[in-house]
Amino acid sequence: MCALSLMINMLAEKYNNLTVVGDFDQTIYSWRGATVRHMLSFEKTYPGATVVKLEQNYRSSGHILKAANGLIQQNTQRRDKNLWTEASDGDQVAYYLASDEREEARYIADTMQDHMRKGVPAQEMAVLYRTNAQSRVLEETFAQRGIPYRLVGGLKFFARAEIKDILAYLRLVHNPQDYIALSRAISAPSRGVGSTSVDRFTEWAQRLALPVSELLERSDSPVGPRFMAGILQFYRFIFHLQDILAGDIVFPEEETPKTSEPKRVWGPVSTEPKAQRIDFPLARVIRTILDSGYTTYLQKDDKGPDKLENIYELISMTEEQQSLDSFLETAALATDWDTQEEQPNAVTFTTVHLAKGLEYDLVVVAGMEEKIFPHYRSLTLEEVEEERRLCYVAITRGRKWVHLTSAKQRLIFGDYSRNAPSRFLDDIPSQHMTRNEAANRGAFGSTIAPKPRIFPPAMKAAAAPVQSYAQGESVRHTQWGVGYIKRIEGEGEKAILHISFGGHMKTLIAKYAPLQKII
């Protein structure tokens, strides 16, 4: 029992006058210590407690509530509860399967504009997503359409520190005399050269107006020898990046790109064959920057995994803008969009976590795909159930209309992916949800053809059949190593495996567990 629980017990012990308010279906902050177990164990700790269920909902229409109920009832860690409303059923939840992430963004923009024409204020609409990195394509599409939007609880994509850092490196590759970029890049991560030394070097360089290659060979630098050596070493790295961009450095096929694969929280975990990743020279440059110490630098930050995902998403831009000139021009234009003054009547962009407690007439939940929502870091049954609670929160933010979207193929985090639609979509009863695809948009909006993509052949392979497991079998997990199956609940792809990894129990779903049998 934690110290807080002990203190509460002591305070309530004499008169038993303790009241707790909460919703086990909206417990979405376990990483802060707010686990659903606290609520579920309350009646065991206080067996005489009276439970009052607040099931009437005053926000959402009938179809939205019934869809949410059907979803959350798939969780095992909950008590029976069924939301209801006196309002009409309204419109069904709409699911749209786009051809790719850009067509998904166009559909969302079309949907918002259609409702605006019908008189729905922009401020009564929201786009929710699982990770901040998903906002980039949405921001770009809305900016191009002139649809006002605002980000809640976060910075716009090109205003994020990690994106500014990488762009500073790229601006130096483009122009080594960009001393503003030098000041930022050389300190992210720190390379032993302080800001005072950088300022002195910059002032001296600008006064002489010589190419950097000549400045580095001079002996009259105002910067001390040790700091000058640090600047010299840093510029050697920038020149190395120039060589990569020019194609003067050839990567062997098996080493392309030569980057350290992040562990569980540092990159997507896949049980499928590795997708072909973007490997344009500009993408190699960014990956090389990550390998130069920037990934290690991010690992010291609690938000490091999310920041790395944002950089992967920047790598995705290299598929659209392969030359450094056009890439920096696009980034500069997008930065101009970011700095425009926000309008009060604007569509809200935010993560689902930050949307809790908010409500809108129209809600779109983007990226309803495996490895995105539920997130690729959610490996155990407990983690997946928290993701399902998160999806429940997302759907119940909507008052009148809820749209769920996914893409057949997606360029995200710097990799091509063809993820299956989210398992949560199958949890929603069919009578409360309509389904539409990109090939048949009908009344959902314009019929702009999506940008054609050449998709890697490896991604077209059929999914491997789900393995069958037996109690007592030994298996190997991609993260936790070797374990043995102690207990199995259910059969086939829905089987739940209770596995001991060195004495640590994990509960996994057979269909999604990255396991390999040890024979």
290-344: per-residue pLDDT in tens? 999 999 999 888 888 889 989 998 998 888 777 898 889 888 877 766 556 667 7
Return the pLDDT at 441: 46
**For position 255, which CATH number holds?**
1.10.486.10
Return the pLDDT at 466: 61
Q: Are residues 396 and 253 in the same domain?
A: no
- The answer, yes or no, to whether residue 426 has pLDDT greater than 90, is yes
* Cα–Cα distance, 429 to 416 (Å, whole number): 31
Q: How confident is the model at residue 212 (pLDDT cuts 50, 70, 90)?
A: confident
Q: Are residues 305 and 217 in the same domain?
A: yes
Tally the domains of the chain.
Answer: 4
Mean pLDDT of the 467-474 span:
83
Q: Are residues 166 and 239 in the same domain?
A: yes
Q: Are residues 184 and 292 in the same domain?
A: yes
**Which H or E run contains 37?**
helix 36-40
Does residue 323 form part of some domain?
yes
Mean pLDDT of the 26-30 span:
77
Return the pLDDT at 485: 87
Q: Are residues 479 and 452 in the same domain?
A: no
DSSP string, 100-169: SHHHHHHHHHHHHHHHHHTT--GGGEEEEESSGGGHHHHHHHHHHHT--EEESSS--GGGSHHHHHHHHH
- The answer, yes or no, to whether residue 447 has pLDDT greater than 70, is no
Return the pLDDT at 171: 94
Phi first, then psi: give them for residue 507, nearest 5 degrees.
-110, 120
Does residue 81 form part of some domain?
no
Q: How far from chain centre, in Å, is Cα 192? A: 33
Name the percent of the chain lying above pLDDT 70: 85
Q: Are residues 309 and 392 in the same domain?
A: no
Return the pLDDT at 434: 96
DSSP-based three-state secondary structure for 98: strand
- Kindly report which listed range (56-60, 204-208, 246-250, 455-459) carries the lowest average pLDDT score: 455-459
Q: Domain span at residue 232?
A: 161-330
Does residue 202 form part of some domain?
yes
Q: How confident is the model at residue 74 (pLDDT cuts 50, 70, 90)?
A: very high
Return the pLDDT at 322: 74
Copy the structure tokens of residue 510: 């057979």
Q: Are residues 369 and 495 in the same domain?
A: no
- The answer, yes or no, to whether residue 226 has pLDDT greater than 70, is yes
Q: Residue 333: is it exposed, middle or buried by C-beta count within 10 angstroms (0-12/13-18/19+)?
A: middle
Does residue 338 form part of some domain?
no
Q: Are residues 314 and 189 in the same domain?
A: yes
Does residue 337 form part of some domain?
no
Looking at mean pLDDT, say which of 13-22, 32-41, 181-190 comes out highest.
181-190
Does residue 482 form part of some domain?
yes
Average pLDDT, rounded, for the chain: 82
Q: Are residues 359 and 408 in the same domain?
A: yes
Question: Do the Cβ atoms of 87 and 40 come closer than 8 Å?
Answer: no
Assessment of whether the complete model's pTM goes beyond 0.75: no
Place of tokens 């510029």: 235
Return the pLDDT at 253: 45
- The answer, yes or no, to whether residue 274 has pLDDT greater than 80, is no
Return the pLDDT at 338: 57
Mean pLDDT of the 87-113 span:
96
Return the pLDDT at 277: 64
- The answer, yes or no, to whether residue 160 has pLDDT greater than 60, is yes
Taking the CB of residue 498, how many other CB atoms lie within 10 A of it?
15
**More confident call, 41 vs 342:** 41
Q: Are residues 19 and 66 in the same domain?
A: yes
- The answer, yes or no, to whether residue 356 has pLDDT greater than 90, is no
- Kindly report which listed range (263-272, 275-284, 358-367, 428-437) carries the lowest average pLDDT score: 263-272
Strand partners, 498: 487, 507
Pick from 421, 437, 460: which residue ends a domain?
460
Looking at mean pLDDT, say which of 210-219, 356-365, 458-467 comes out highest.
356-365
Mean pLDDT of the 214-229 span:
86
Pick from 298, 330, 362: which residue ends a domain?
330
Does residue 361 form part of some domain?
yes
DSSP string, 192-204: S--HHHHHHHHHH
Pick from 330, 353, 385: which residue ends a domain?
330
Does residue 103 form part of some domain?
yes
**More confident call, 481 vs 106:** 106
Return the pLDDT at 172: 95
**For position 104, which CATH number holds?**
3.40.50.300
Return the pLDDT at 267: 46
- The answer, yes or no, to whether residue 165 has pLDDT greater than 70, is yes
Q: Are residues 310 and 394 in the same domain?
A: no
Return the pLDDT at 51: 85
Return the pLDDT at 256: 42
Copy the structure tokens of residue 363: 């809600």
Q: Are residues 290 and 179 in the same domain?
A: yes
